[in-house]
Each structure stands twice: as structure tokens, then as C-alpha cells.
Chain A
Amino acid sequence: MKEQERFEPRIIGFLCNWCAYTGADLAGVSRMKSAPNVRVLRLMCSGRVDPTFVLRAFQLGADGVLVAGCHPGDCHYQEGNYKALRRTLLLKRVLRQFGIDERRLRLEWISASEGEKFARVANEFTEEIRALGPLELTAALETGPALELEEVRA
């Protein structure tokens, strides 16, 4: 019973191809234990993470979103990670105004050799979101039944 009661957060992880994803891969091949709550999506660059992706993830039921890219100065595309940094900082302010705890969005720099850091971040973040509880946006965003066109025209 206790197992069922424990809240398992759903976390979407947007990882860049060159550093963070390779880091996560390293955590895997090194057989490090990391929370399976982070569902990983590989992108070419953390600068590819449009704020829409983050909002869409929350809207579709994510409790937390992790964006991870190369360390500052290491971006494969020179400055995509700085773009991600600026976006994240601005998006956090907007999330706060929408009543969403900004800790639900986390930005991390993880290099290709930092498998251990990926595992640690995934575990830490999962526990942090577990403590924050479910976001439950999906149900709240139901705007009521819009009638079908056929129905109104019948």
C-alpha cells in the first residue's frame, strides 16, 4: 500500500545532444542509479528548447521540467546554452506569475563526462518535485465541454 501512496513525479528532461545527453548516456553505461522519473528527450542544443515546449510539458501533465546543456563556454553551437539560460530565467518569472513554483523548471550544465552529475541531478530534482507535490495542470486546464459543431447546428 505504501508504495502506491508515494507520489512519483513526472519529469521531462530536455537534454542537448553534445553534452547533457551524452552525460546521461554515460550514467547509464556506468550503471549508475538515477531516478527513472526523468523522461529524457534529446535535442541538438539546449538553445532549441522553446519556452513553448516547457509550457506544453506542464500542460500535458509534467510535474517538473529539466533543461540541461553544455557548460558555459562549451556549447557546440557557441552560444545556444546562454540563450537557454536567458530564456529559463525569464520563463521562471512568468511561471511565478502564473502561480507555478519556479523550482519546477530547472536548468543544469552537464558535460559529456559528467555521468555522475546527471544521476545526481535526476535524483535530487525528483526528490525536490516529490516534495512540491503534483502540479495537476491537465485537469485544471479543462475549459468545460465545448459543444460539437454538429450538435449546435442540429
Chain B
Amino acid sequence: MSKPKLALYWAASCGGCEITVLDIEEKILDVAAFFDIVFWPCAMDFKYKDVEAMEDGSIDLCLFNGAIRTSENEAIARLLRRKSKILVAFGSCACDGCIPGLANLTTREEILDWVYRGSPSTINENGVRPQPKVRVPEGELEIPEFYEEVRTLAQVVPVDYFMPGCPPQPPQIVKVMTAIMTGAQLPPPGSVIGAGDKTCCDECGRTRQEKRVKRFYRPWELVPDPDQCLLDQGIICLGPATRSGCGALCVKANMPCRGCYGPPPNVTDQGAKMISALASVIDSQDPEEIQRILDQIPDPAGTFYRFSVPASLLHRRRSAPAA
């Protein structure tokens, strides 16, 4: 009998999700023994046409990491969706947009302008911009189109499961792979797997007090007490607005949670949740003082939505309306 087929793909991502798959250490051997790996561009030599030649639905499990930034990302997302029985949005980029999704707070034009003209290290006297199609003596060359916005995988194709994290933590991957390999009953499609169903605070061992914050600090501005809640100390920690599952790794290293496991269950918009939480801890009733305290947060959207701009209710920045 042939082995179940496994595909792994990276779209707009950093490669961390590929590494975390290997971070399951010797368990990767079990995975390789159980599955027939049919597509994994990062690690093995496959071509897109190999996937195109496969029968629809012939891939049993596809772990798709990365957001949808270019037409290539989208085309492969659609292709793998068609070929896969179970499509998993693997990691924060595919689930919520993650760091590439922060680009949604600017525009395509601003990005291209900065990269090909504005940045101090750019030398581009002729103002050359990449074109999706270009004619050269040898024929026509084509590169993927750079989209106006970054989208999550589920904004492009239907997704069976969401496995959050930047990257998903190896113990969670082992748990999920073991469940799949032992044929355990999988949760209903659309579920979040490989994560908890509470907030990051639930996994955090620090002592919490009634929060009264007069001043916000950035992590480098003070050495935090390792036993006290970071938010109590005025460090913006996204724990209250983040799903559990990582084991509170960052806070154990005395760094605040940045929110990579995405919104907790029943929360639609991670940033809105964090705005709500932070507004509750500020110790002031005076509008001007509140404004002063809030001004200590240099980049609210980028902080509260660090991992989830594309998945947020607003998706991206609107260009300013014509005056």
C-alpha cells in the first residue's frame, strides 16, 4: 500500500516555519517514514509541474506557510488547495498575515518607491521598476505580480485547519503530526490546531496585581522584574490578546509576548482586544494625561497588530481620501 502524501510549501514567509519542522528533531524521521513527501521546495527538488501533474486531492496533507503577497503565492495556494485533501495554514503568516502583513500599513506604491528609489542604499539612475512581463532578445520573461496587499491563506482559498505561531512550536507540531499519523479523530474543519484555547497569560507564571500604569516602557528601557507581570511593569505585553499554545516562551525569557499565536478563541480582532486591555490598565482619568501616556506607545497599530494586520477587521490602510 502506498504511503500518505505530504506537501510543504512556503509563500511570503521568512523560512522559520521550514526550520521549525526540522526542530521536531528525531520525530522528523517518523514523519518521513510515515509520509511520502511529494513537494517541499525548501528542502527537496520538486517543480511546480510535478504538482500540476498530480491527481486532484491526491496529497493527503499540505502544510502551507507564508502569506499571499504575489501572484505566484496565490497560484500555488490555489494549486495546492486543489491537490490536497487537508490544507493547513501553517504558522502565523498563513493564518493571520504576520510580519509580511505589516506591509498592509503602507501601500504597494510606497514600498516600490522606497525599494527602487528612496532608500539610501539604492542606486537606480534610470528609475527601473520590475515589470511583470519584459521582452528580451531571447523571448518574454515573466515574474510574479506584486499585489496591492498581503492576504492570509484563508482569504484566498478555503483552509481546513489553522496552526498559529511564529513559528509553530515543535511540541505542538509533534502533537499534531502524531494525531494525524495515528489516525486520531480530527477536529471539525476550520478549527485551530496545535494551540491552546485560552490566552498566553494562562501559561504565564508571573504574579499579577491590579494594573495601574502611568508610563509605558519599551523592553530596552528597563530590566524587568522576572516574577512580576510585564504589563504591571508598564511593558506592553500582548499576552491578554494572544492565544495560548507556545508555553509563554517569550515571557519566560523576560521579554513581552508579541502576539504571534494570533487572537484567542472568540476574538475577531487581536489589535482591538489589545486596545481594550491596555485602556483598562492606564491609571488616569484626565484626557490630557491619558494622551501623554498613550503617546509613549510609538506605533500602536504595528504593536497590537504585529502578526495580524491582514486578518484584522480593517485588513489594511486606506489611502487618504482626496481632500
Q: Which of A79, A94, A132, A147 contacts B300 (CB 8 A)?
A: A94
Assembled-state Cα–Cα distance A63/B29 (Å):
56
Known: A82-B285, A87-B275, A90-B275. A146 touches B157 (CB 8 A): yes
Assembled-state Cα–Cα distance A146/B321 (Å):
28
Assess the B273–A52 pair: CB atoms within 8 A. Answer: yes
Chain A residues with Cβ below 8 Å from B291 are 89
Assembled-state Cα–Cα distance A50/B156 (Å):
29
Per-position contact with A for B18-52: 1 when CB-CB < 8 Å, else 0? 00000000000000000000000000000000000
Choose among A82, A85, A94, A99 the residue with the greatest number of B CB atoms under 10 Å from its CB.
A94
Known: A55-B272, A146-B154. A99 touches B313 (CB 8 A): no
A30 within 8 A of B: no
- Chain B nearest CB: distance from A45 CB in Å? 13
Assess the B275–A51 pair: CB atoms within 8 A. Answer: yes
Q: Is the contact region of chain A dominated by helix, strand, or loop, or is it mixed?
A: helix
A29 within 8 A of B: no
Assembled-state Cα–Cα distance A74/B243 (Å):
36
Assess the A90–B279 pair: CB atoms within 8 A. Answer: yes
Assess the A97–B300 pair: CB atoms within 8 A. Answer: yes
Assembled-state Cα–Cα distance A133/B320 (Å):
12
B249 within 8 A of A: no
Assess the A153–B56 pair: CB atoms within 8 A. Answer: yes
Chain B's closest residue to A82 (CB) is B285
Assess the A143–B304 pair: CB atoms within 8 A. Answer: no
Assess the B314–A100 pair: CB atoms within 8 A. Answer: yes
- Chain A nearest CB: distance from B151 CB in Å? 6
Chain B's closest residue to A100 (CB) is B318
List which A92-148 residues lie within 8 A (CB) of chain B.
Answer: 93-94, 97-101, 132-133, 137, 140-141, 143-144, 146-148
Assembled-state Cα–Cα distance A137/B317 (Å):
11
Q: Which of B56, B156, B302, B304 contacts A144 (CB 8 A)?
A: B156
Interface size on A, residues (CB 8 A): 39
Assess the A143–B315 pair: CB atoms within 8 A. Answer: yes
Chain B residues with Cβ below 8 Å from A2 are none
- Chain B nearest CB: distance from A133 CB in Å? 6
Q: Which of B189, B294, B314, B316 contacts A58 (CB 8 A)?
A: B314
Assess the B321–A133 pair: CB atoms within 8 A. Answer: yes
Assess the B279–A87 pair: CB atoms within 8 A. Answer: yes
Known: A83-B280, A90-B278. A72 touches B301 (CB 8 A): no
B182 within 8 A of A: no
- Chain B nearest CB: distance from A51 CB in Å? 4
Chain A residues with Cβ below 8 Å from B282 are 86
Q: Which of B81, B151, B276, B320 contacts A87 (CB 8 A)?
A: B276
Assembled-state Cα–Cα distance A148/B276 (Å):
35
B319 within 8 A of A: yes
Assembled-state Cα–Cα distance A100/B314 (Å):
10
Assembled-state Cα–Cα distance A13/B271 (Å):
22
- Chain B nearest CB: distance from A65 CB in Å? 13
Q: Which of A59, A89, A93 contacts B314 (CB 8 A)?
A: A59
A56 within 8 A of B: yes
Chain A interface residues (CB < 8 Å from chain B): 50-52, 54-56, 58-59, 72, 79, 82-83, 85-87, 89-91, 93-94, 97-101, 132-133, 137, 140-141, 143-144, 146-149, 152-154
Chain B interface residues (CB < 8 Å from chain A): 56-57, 78, 81-82, 105, 151, 154-158, 189, 267-269, 271-273, 275-276, 278-280, 282, 284-285, 287, 290-291, 294, 297, 299-302, 304, 312-321
A-B contacts, 21 of them at CB < 8 A, read A50-B272, A52-B272, A55-B314, A56-B268, A58-B314, A83-B280, A86-B282, A89-B287, A89-B290, A90-B279, A91-B272, A94-B304, A97-B302, A98-B301, A98-B318, A99-B320, A100-B318, A133-B321, A148-B158, A153-B82, A154-B56
